[in-house]
């Protein structure tokens, strides 16, 4: 079997990306929806980068052309023959064109034990609910946010006095280990290179 080629989507600091690269995963391109440290980390590691700036598609308000943006992301990935798509702190929900191109081949990590606390504020929501345990989930991404099939989970204790920052950092420590492990298992299970059709 040919080597599976990973594309990674980022929006922030790129610490998850850094963990994937440190584990030797075959990342061939990093795509971002905004200028960010993640792109810089990729460039420092001699990994190809693509900026598909969502500001060019209407920015962050109601005028955002999400389908057109998604199409541009897919085109960027196609330029690098990506087989498996890995979201690593990516701040934009992708629409149907991404799922058509990479059906069953988009992975995401989420800082909670799904189905509990889906959405953008999972850590804050866990604290607000008085949860004593939360964690990290790796799942297949679907059109419904944080609702795809769960591939792996690990618990993280909520400690007395935790803030969103302290709790999120402990979740990230788990995430940086669990995500690469899970990606390797997915690849080993037979995610053969399947180039998206033009």
pTM of the predicted model as reported, rounded to 2 decimal places: 0.91
Work out the pLDDT band at 196, boundaries 50, 70, 90: very low
The question of whether 99 is a catalytic residue gets the answer: no
pLDDT tens per residue across span 119-169? 999 999 999 999 999 999 999 999 999 999 999 999 999 999 999 999 999
Q: How many CA atoms lie within 13 A of 73 on its CB side?
A: 34
H or E segment at 19?
Answer: helix 15-22
The per-residue pLDDT for range 62-114, each reduced to its tens digit, is 899 999 999 999 999 999 999 999 999 999 999 999 999 999 999 999 999 99
What are the φ and ψ backbone dihedral angles of 11, each rounded to 5 degrees?
A: -135, -15
The answer to whether residue 190 is domain-embedded is no
What count of other Cβ atoms lies within 10 Å of the Cβ of residue 170? 19
Q: Tell me which residue has tokens 């999120």.
A: 168
- Judgement on whether residues 82 and 150 belong to the same structural domain of the protein: no
Residue 193 belongs to some domain of the structure: no
Last-in-domain residue among 66, 88, 103: 103
> Does 81 reside within a domain?
yes
Q: Which of 99, 110, 139, 168 is catalytic?
A: 110
């Amino acid at each position: 079997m040919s080597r599976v080629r990973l594309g990674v989507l980022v929006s922030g600091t790129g610490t998850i990306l850094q963990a994937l690269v440190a584990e030797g995963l075959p990342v061939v391109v990093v795509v971002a929806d905004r200028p960010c440290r993640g792109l810089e980390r990729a460039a420092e590691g001699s990994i190809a980068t693509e900026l598909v700036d969502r500001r060019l598609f209407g920015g962050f308000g109601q005028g955002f052309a999400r389908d057109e943006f998604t199409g541009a992301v897919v085109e960027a990935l196609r330029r690098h023959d990506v087989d498996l798509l890995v979201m690593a702190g990516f701040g934009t929900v992708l629409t149907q064109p991404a799922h058509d191109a990479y059906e069953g081949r988009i992975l995401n990590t989420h800082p909670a034990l799904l189905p509990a606390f889906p959405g953008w504020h999972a850590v804050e929501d866990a604290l607000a609910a008085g949860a004593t345990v939360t964690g990290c989930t790796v799942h297949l991404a679907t059109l419904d946010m944080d609702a795809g099939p769960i591939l792996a989970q690990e618990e993280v204790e909520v400690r007395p006095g935790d803030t969103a920052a302290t709790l999120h950092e402990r979740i990230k420590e788990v995430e940086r280990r669990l995500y690469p492990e899970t990606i390797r298992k997915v690849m080993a299970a037979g995610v053969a290179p399947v180039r998206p059709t033009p």
